[in-house]
Each structure stands twice: as C-alpha cells, then as structure tokens.
Amino acid sequence: MRYLIPANKTQAEIEVKKSRFIATIGPVFSVDEAKAFIKEVKKEYGDAGHNVPAFLVGYGSSVTKHCNDDGEPSGTAGRPILAVLEGSDLGDVAVVVTRYWGGTKLGTGGLVRAYGDAVKEVLQVVKRAEKVPTHTVMLAIPYTLLERVRLLSAQHGGNIQDEEFAADITLTIQFMQERFDAFQTDLNEMSHGSIAAEIIESDENTIFPVSG
C-alpha cells in the first residue's frame, strides 16, 4: 500500500497570546522510532513547559497511534494534535508540539485551537515523500547526451544524486523500482543500445520525495 509520509524532520512555529508553540514533525517507521523521535525533541527543548507528542505508525486500518498531554489539562493538547494528524492523510508520522508559556492562560478551548493550529502550520511546510522500493543506478554517458539523459530521468521520476565529470559523465540516479525498467528501455533506444544503467543498490524502504 502506497501512502505519503513526511520527507524529513521539519519545524514550524506560531504564537498565541505570547505563548510560543513549536511543532516538530518527522517520519517514523516503528513505535521505537517514534519514541526515539519524541525523546530527541524533548531533549532539544528541555527548558520548555510542555512537549506534547503524538504519532501514527502505519496507515489506514493498519495503524498504531498514541498521544498524551504532557502536563496540559486532559484532552487539550495530545488529542487535538492526533486529530489533525489523522486528517492529514500522512502515515508513519510523529509530531511534538513544544510550548513556551507567555504569561497568559489560554483556557481549554484556546489550548485545543493552539495545539491543533501548530500542527496545521507544520503540515503546510513539510515536504511529502513515499516509502517505496528503489534502485540506485549508475551510468556513464558522453557530454553530448547529458541534457537528454537528465530529461529522460525526470520523465521517469528519477532523483539524480551525483554527477561526476571526467572523460565521460558518470551519473548516479535513484528510481522507484517499478519505473526503472521503462527508463532502461528508453535509455537503450536513445543511445542505440550503447548505454545501460547498472543497479548498484536496492532498498525496499526508501524515503522517496514526491512532487507537489
């Protein structure tokens, strides 16, 4: 099953009545990874009044979820964060919302809105990815074909990781496994059978960026 995940650890901040709410989001693929992520953020913001966590490991009907209020009034922090996560269409995701108190009480409703809005803010900026099987491939091409191969790679969803310029150009490109054969076929046709990409690494659980 294919689904979106956060591409990387990302942060966003909002301010409500001088209280700072810093939302930190990232990909996690097990409960242990989620706990480690939460522990890392709590260590980073150890001087904050609250570090409220929530996570979803898996997706859809096969999901493990958790949240707590980390000292905030019951139901005002963890549950609102989890509710926004559940509506985000992301899987394998953890978030911690850090609060630095600004001196003004927000009330129950204010806390619910603030914690939820902090997660919405970070969801606006975090890049999306998929966890997919990939091949990392290498190929050597003449300089005259560089732009055409770059374009061909992009057409097949390739992510160019390295370009090494010597007598020829050696490209290292990562493809979703399901799209690699079509790239190889088109590359063969374009080069009249003179160039082929060699698979140097395969990974079943790659965080692969998606456009949009």
Distance (Å, whole) CA 172 – CA 197: 9
> CB burial class (10 A; 0-12, 13-18, 19+) of residue 81?
buried
pTM over 0.85: no
Q: Which domain holds residue 60?
A: 4-126
Do 109 and 139 belong to one domain? no
Distance (Å, whole) CA 195 – CA 53: 50
Do 181 and 76 belong to one domain? no
CATH number (domain holding residue 114): 3.30.230.30
Do 87 and 112 belong to one domain? yes
pLDDT at 206: 84
Number of structural domains the chain divides into: 2
Do 20 and 85 belong to one domain? yes
Q: Which of the listed residues 83, 108, 126 is the one where a domain comes to its end?
A: 126
Distance (Å, whole) CA 99 – CA 21: 5
pLDDT at 132: 87
pLDDT at 182: 97
Contact 131/28 with Cβ under 8 angstroms?
A: no
pLDDT at 211: 61
pLDDT at 39: 97
Do 85 and 25 belong to one domain? yes
pLDDT at 61: 83
pLDDT at 208: 81
Ranges of residues in the chain whose predicted pLDDT is under 70: 211-212
pLDDT at 78: 96
pLDDT at 42: 96
Those residues with Cβ within 8 angstroms of residue 109's Cβ, 6 or more apart along the chain or in another chain: none
pLDDT at 207: 84
Do 104 and 14 belong to one domain? yes
